[in-house]
């Protein structure tokens, strides 16, 4: 599964430009799924199984897009001003490298006047693409770029850009491959534009009209030096979400995941996230309401180019979802 993770995290895919990630995933799931389609906004939807006794129409979602930058202006000397695509983390920007769709690299520099000591604002930063002037700049206003950083395998722990949420995509692909018989009609949705407002999940959830929805996404941890209080740590198993800024999980879905983990002897943790949210927030309020929950992969340094996960947590998430989906969903 590490090869799959490596290829997914290194692919280019800021919100709105998920094509390459979609192609990679489509190639993986094409042989296994009953049907694979791309909808009007670009979500990739792979379907397996059909509703048997006690079965439901289930939507599983992981987002393909990653945070990035968009070119907003090129000045006379060829320096590129930019805006964020999704929630870019200013602390992680200076000295970072970005990669455009054509592979071209730029480095992020900062103005020096008026920012001494302080963290520069986004509009005080620029990208140097090595151009001499505006006309020779190889990019144009509206071009997007992702952060550039290779995948690293530290043994038990994996580091890369875009673990948020390619690790969720990898989990879904793996679940799809391992699932086999299921009483449910399961739609694996690889969503677009999560980082800019959960947009792909909103439309795909409406289209699928699910009876049960689970997002697989990353969550932050409280296990680093002087971290904010949070009872989630790396390596303690996937986290079953109770609450974040955008949703309160359906109690039945939460219980179903917890009971499955306990039955299967899979370590798990309960999660209350005080910032951020996931695709499940909009899946839950689709149409007349959908029972929704989240299975989170604990991740350090979220929204930096070096997001770290624990491989055992990832495998645990796959096992948990496979075990849950092979049986009926008793969500009360």
Partner 1 sequence: MKVAEFLKRITEASGVSGAEGEVGTIVAETFRTLADEVRSDVMGNVIALKRGEGLPSGEHPRVMLAGHMDEIGLMVTKVEDGFLRFTTVGGFDVRTLLGQEVLVHGRRPLRGVIGCRPPHVLTPAENERVVPLQELFIDVGYEEEPLRELVRVGDFVTVRREQIELAGGRLAAKALDDRAAVAAIGFCLDLLKKRRHQWDVCAVATVQEEVGLRGAITSAFGVAPHLGIAIDVTFGSQYGVPEYETVEMGGGPPIGLGPNFHPKVHERLVETAKALEIPYQIDPIPGRSGTDAWAIQVTREGIPTALLSIPLRYMHTPVETVDVRDIERTGHLMAEFICGLDETFASELGVQVRRLNGQGGPTCC
Partner 2 sequence: MLLRELVEADGVSGCEKAVRDILIKAIEDRADEYRIDALGNLIAVKYRRSRSGAGVAKVMVAAHMDEVGLMVTKVERDGFIRFAPVGGVDPRVVVAKVVRIGEERIPGVIGVKPVHLLEPGERDRVLKFEQLAIDAGMSGEEAQRRVRPGMYASFATAFELLDEGGLRTVKGKAFDDRAGCAVLAELLAESYPFDLYAAFTVQEEVGLRGARVAAYAVEPDVAFVLEGTVCDDSPKEKDTSPTTRLGAGPALTVMDRSVICDRRLVQLLISEAEAQGIPFQVKQPGIGGTDAGAIHVQRDGIPCAVVAVPARYIHSPVSVMSLNDFENTVRLMRGTLQRLQGGLEL
Window contacting partner 1 (CB under 8 A); options: 12-20, 82-90, 118-126, 229-237:
229-237
Window contacting partner 1 (CB under 8 A); options: 53-61, 119-127, 171-179, 221-229:
221-229
**3-state class (DSSP) for residue 4:** helix
User: Which H helix or E strand runs over 315?
Assistant: helix 311-326
- If one asks whether residue 231 binds partner 1 (CB under 8 A), the answer comes out as yes
Q: How far is CA 220 from CA 105, 268, 320, in A?
A: 29, 15, 20
Question: Which residue number, 108 or 212, has a Cβ lying nearer to partner 1?
Answer: 212
Question: Which residue number, 5 or 320, has a Cβ lying nearer to partner 1?
Answer: 320
328 contact choice in partner 1, partner 2, none (CB below 5 to 8 Å, kind-dependent): none
Please give the Cα distance from 305 to 163 (Å, whole number).
9
- If one asks whether residue 332 binds partner 1 (CB under 8 A), the answer comes out as no
Residues in contact with partner 2, shown as a per-residue x/- string from 16 to 35 under the rule CB under 8 A: x-------------------
Residue 196 in contact with residue 189, Cβ under 8 Å? no
Residues 6+ apart with CB under 8 A from 128: 79, 80, 106, 107, 108, 109
Q: Which residues pair with 82 in a beta bridge?
A: 71
- If one asks whether residue 243 binds partner 1 (CB under 8 A), the answer comes out as yes
In this chain, which of 117, 142, 225, 289 binds partner 2, going by CB under 8 A? 142
User: Which H helix or E strand runs over 57?
Assistant: strand 57-63
Please give the Cα distance from 300 to 178 (Å, whole number).
27
- If one asks whether residue 284 binds partner 1 (CB under 8 A), the answer comes out as yes
Residues contacting partner 2: total by CB under 8 A: 30
In this chain, which of 84, 246, 252, 327 binds partner 2, going by CB under 8 A? 84
Residue 203 in contact with residue 63, Cβ under 8 Å? no
In this chain, which of 28, 185, 217, 271 binds partner 1, going by CB under 8 A? 271
- If one asks whether residue 76 binds partner 2 (CB under 8 A), the answer comes out as yes
Residue 64 in contact with residue 204, Cβ under 8 Å? no
Candidates 317, 247, 329; CA nearest to 289 is 247
Which DSSP string do the residues of 280-305 spell out, in sequence order?
HHHHHTSTT---EEEEEEE-BSTTSS
Interacting residues with partner 2 between 197 and 256 (CB under 8 A):
199-200, 202-204, 206-207
∠ at Cα 313 (311, 314), nearest 5°?
65
250 contact choice in partner 2, partner 1, none (CB below 5 to 8 Å, kind-dependent): partner 1
Residues in contact with partner 2, shown as a per-residue x/- string from 165 to 204 under the rule CB under 8 A: ----------------------------x--x--xx-xxx
Please give the Cα distance from 208 to 285 (Å, whole number).
13
Give the residue numbers marked as catalytic.
194
Residues contacting partner 1: total by CB under 8 A: 26
Least distance in angstroms from the C-beta of 271 to partner 2: 27
**3-state class (DSSP) for residue 72:** strand
Residue 207 burial (CB count, 10 A): 18
Window contacting partner 1 (CB under 8 A); options: 69-77, 90-98, 167-175, 224-232:
224-232
Interacting residues with partner 1 between 244 and 263 (CB under 8 A):
246-251, 254
If you compute the radius of gyration of the chain from its CA atoms, what whole number of angstroms results?
20
Query: Which chain residues interact with partner 2 by CB under 8 A?
Result: 15-16, 39-41, 43, 70-73, 75-77, 81, 83-85, 123, 140-142, 193, 196, 199-200, 202-204, 206-207
> Contact residues for partner 1 (CB under 8 A)?
222, 228-231, 242-243, 246-251, 254, 269-272, 274, 284-285, 287-291
């Amino acid at each position: 599964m590490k090869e799959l993770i490596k290829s997914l995290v290194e692919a280019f895919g800021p919100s709105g430009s998920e094509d390459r990630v979609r192609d990679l995933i489509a190639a993986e799931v094409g042989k296994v799924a009953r049907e694979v389609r791309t909808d009007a906004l670009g979500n990739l939807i792979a379907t397996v199984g059909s509703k048997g006794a006690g079965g439901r129409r289930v939507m599983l979602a992981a987002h393909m897009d990653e945070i990035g930058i968009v070119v907003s202006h090129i000045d006379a000397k060829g320096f590129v001003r930019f805006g964020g695509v999704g929630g870019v983390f200013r602390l992680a920007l200076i000295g970072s490298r970005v990669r455009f769709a054509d592979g071209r690299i730029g480095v992020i520099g900062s103005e020096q006047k008026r920012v001494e000591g302080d963290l520069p604002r986004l509009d005080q930063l620029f990208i140097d693409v090595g151009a001499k002037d505006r006309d020779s700049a190889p990019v144009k206003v509206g071009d997007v770029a992702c952060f550039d950083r290779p995948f690293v395998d530290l043994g038990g722990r994996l580091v890369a850009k875009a673990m948020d949420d390619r690790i969720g995509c990898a989990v879904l692909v793996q679940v799809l491959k391992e699932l086999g018989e299921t009483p449910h009609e399961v739609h694996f949705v690889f969503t677009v534009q999560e980082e800019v407002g959960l947009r792909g999940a909103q439309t795909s959830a409406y289209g699928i009209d699910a009876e049960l929805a689970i997002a697989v996404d990353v969550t932050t941890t409280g296990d680093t030096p002087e971290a904010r209080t949070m009872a989630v740590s790396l390596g303690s198993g996937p986290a079953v979400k109770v609450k974040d800024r955008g949703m309160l999980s359906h109690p039945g879905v939460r219980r179903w995941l917890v009971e499955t983990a306990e039955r299967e002897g899979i370590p798990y943790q309960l999660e209350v996230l005080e910032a951020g949210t996931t695709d499940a927030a909009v899946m839950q309020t689709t149409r007349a309401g959908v029972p929704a929950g989240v299975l989170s992969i604990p991740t350090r340094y979220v929204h930096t180019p070096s997001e770290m996960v624990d491989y055992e947590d990832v495998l645990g998430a796959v096992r948990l979802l496979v075990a849950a989906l092979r049986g009926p969903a008793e969500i009360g």
